[in-house]
Amino acid sequence: MDLYEYQGKELFRRFGIPVSEGRLATTPEEARAAAEEIGGQVVVKAQVLTGGRGKAGGVKLADDPDDAEQKARDILGLDINGHVVRKLWIESASEIAKEYYLSVTFDRGQKQPLFMLTTQGGVEIEQVAEETPEALARLHVDPLEGYQPWQARRLIYGASIDDPNEQKQLLSIVEKLYRCFVETDSMLAEINPLIVTPEGEVKALDSKFTVDDNALYKHPDVAEMRDVEAADPLETFAREKGVTYVKLDGDVGILGNGAGLAMSTVDVVAHVGGRPANFCDLGGGGDAEGVVDALEVITRDPQVRSIFFNIFGGITRTDEVARGILAALDRMDISQPIVVRLDGTNAEEGRRILADANRPNVYPEATMLDGARRAVELAK
Ligand code: GDP
Ligand code: MN
């Protein structure tokens, strides 16, 4: 999960990394009020989950509350790389003497967190890595050993930062960023730019955060930062129902048990010339409740014209899934044809249950390939 700048800065603040005072605003009037409360010059910043906002006109300085309101009007509704601006962060403007870059990310190759620091901040780090690689200090942290202060010192010397006052502040910021990264189970924590003011104060002017979805259960305070409005409404609905669902743009609804089988089903449907409407994993169970939930999610997508249930019974008993499907159909009004392929544990009984029920819109098929073909045919 990616965090907005203002959310990342909130985490920075909690871990003691210096940031400017700011307020969130969703209307020009709120932006004006925020600027009044903050006082002085402010910067009005688009909150979207993409970089390069500055270049796209999504970051603007404002001299007074009037100006802040005007700048907010300009930025709200702006489309930045396909992200429409609905939220603004109004922050006390900083004077910038230098722009540095600091990040810690997860280096999968080395299986260790990797710090990067350069005095060439403010631009894309890829550009620095390409054009002036010698200016980019890189340092891995052994997670078993944990963070040691010498690592920050080596990083700071590596980036040729020789001002003792900056060194001292950076030492503390690097340590805090590491703690913040580890304690929130992040994949990336980036500060670009990390500025030095004319008075010599080092602080984070931007934040980019990616936290590990799989660890969110450990961090309810971070989990609640998820922006439900920006997410696909169907995926939000699925999450609420506890259904593992990813929306695709075709017309064949897909339901498999187990992520591997569900993914293969997406592939097979595409292979026989169909267009999958979604990925959906029923998980281990196959009781009526689970089937109803999944069907509710899948059929909410108006593009779905047929549904393909692909069930392989290992732990899951397919006779139970068959009963689940029938019970679900009793409880819901589903107009789309449903192709069902049952195989594995108790498959014969499962198929018999479906055959005996004799529902007009249920089409049993014996193999995955035949099931996919039938579902694609029925979607036409
Ligand atoms: P990004 O373009 O999405 O990475 O957004 P940033 O938050 O990094 O802002 C882009 C640029 O706007 C920064 O590199 C700064 O040059 C400038 N900027 C942002 N905040 C301030 C500020 O408080 N004062 C000044 N003078 N410039 C700022
Ligand atoms: Mn930035």
User: Which pLDDT value is given to residue 317?
Assistant: 86
3-class DSSP string for 217-279 = HHCHHHHCCCCCCCCCHHHHHHHHHCCEEEECCCCEEEEECCHHHHHHHHHHHHHCCCCECEE
- Separation of 155 CA from ligand 1 center, angstroms? 24
Euclidean distance between the first and the last CA atom of the chain, given in angstroms as a whole number: 37
Average pLDDT taken over every residue of the chain = 93
Residue 240 pLDDT class (50, 70, 90 cuts): confident
User: Which pLDDT value is given to residue 315?
Assistant: 81
Ligand 1 atom closest to residue 55's alpha carbon, by position in its atom list? 2
Does the beta carbon of 57 lie inside 6 Å of ligand 1? no
Whole-number Cα distances in Å, 257 to 41, 92, 108, 343: 56, 52, 29, 11
Given the residues 101, 147, 245, 363, select the one marked as catalytic.
Answer: 101
Average pLDDT over residues 64-74: 98
Tell me the two tokens of residue 114. 């990797």
User: Which pLDDT value is given to residue 166?
Assistant: 98
**Looking at this protein, which amino acid is placed at residue 198?**
P
User: Which pLDDT value is given to residue 284?
Assistant: 63
Whole-number Cα distances in Å, 94 to 15, 62, 99, 203: 21, 12, 12, 9
User: Which pLDDT value is given to residue 124?
Assistant: 84
Largest CA distance in the chain: 82
Task: Supply the pTM of this predicted model.
Answer: 0.71
Contacts of 162 (CB under 8 A, 6+ apart): none
- Asked if residue 276 lies in contact with residue 307, where contact means CB atoms within 8 angstroms, the answer is no
- Examine the pLDDT at 298 and tell me if it is beyond 90: yes
Residue 230 pLDDT class (50, 70, 90 cuts): low
- Examine the pLDDT at 371 and tell me if it is beyond 80: yes
User: Which pLDDT value is given to residue 228?
Assistant: 64
Tell me the two tokens of residue 25. 């605003």
Given the residues 190, 245, 320, 365, select the one marked as catalytic.
Answer: 190
Contacts of 44 (CB under 8 A, 6+ apart): 31, 59, 60, 61, 62, 68, 71, 72, 75, 88, 89, 90
Q: How far apart are CA 6 and CA 26, in angstroms?
A: 13
Ligand with minimal distance to 52 CA: 1
| Annotation says 190 is catalytic | yes
Q: How far apart are CA 189 and CA 12, in angstroms?
A: 10
Closest alpha carbon to 187 in 216, 212, 207: 212
Tell me the two tokens of residue 299. 């059929």
Q: How far apart are CA 353 and CA 355, in angstroms?
A: 6
Q: How far apart are CA 168 and CA 337, in angstroms?
A: 68
Whole-number Cα distances in Å, 215 to 1, 129, 200, 362: 10, 30, 37, 39
Q: How far apart are CA 342 and CA 350, in angstroms?
A: 7
Residues less than 5 Å from ion ligand 2, measured at CB? 192, 206
Residue 282 pLDDT class (50, 70, 90 cuts): confident
User: Which pLDDT value is given to residue 111?
Assistant: 93
Ligand 1 atom closest to residue 54's alpha carbon, by position in its atom list? 2
| Annotation says 147 is catalytic | no
pLDDT tens digits along 148-183 = 999 999 999 999 999 999 999 999 999 999 999 999
Closest alpha carbon to 141 in 102, 165, 112, 170: 112
User: Which pLDDT value is given to residue 138?
Assistant: 96
Angle between helix 28-38 and helix 65-75 axes, rounded to 10 deg? 140
DSSP assignment string, 32-54: HHHHHHH-SSEEEEE--SSS-TT
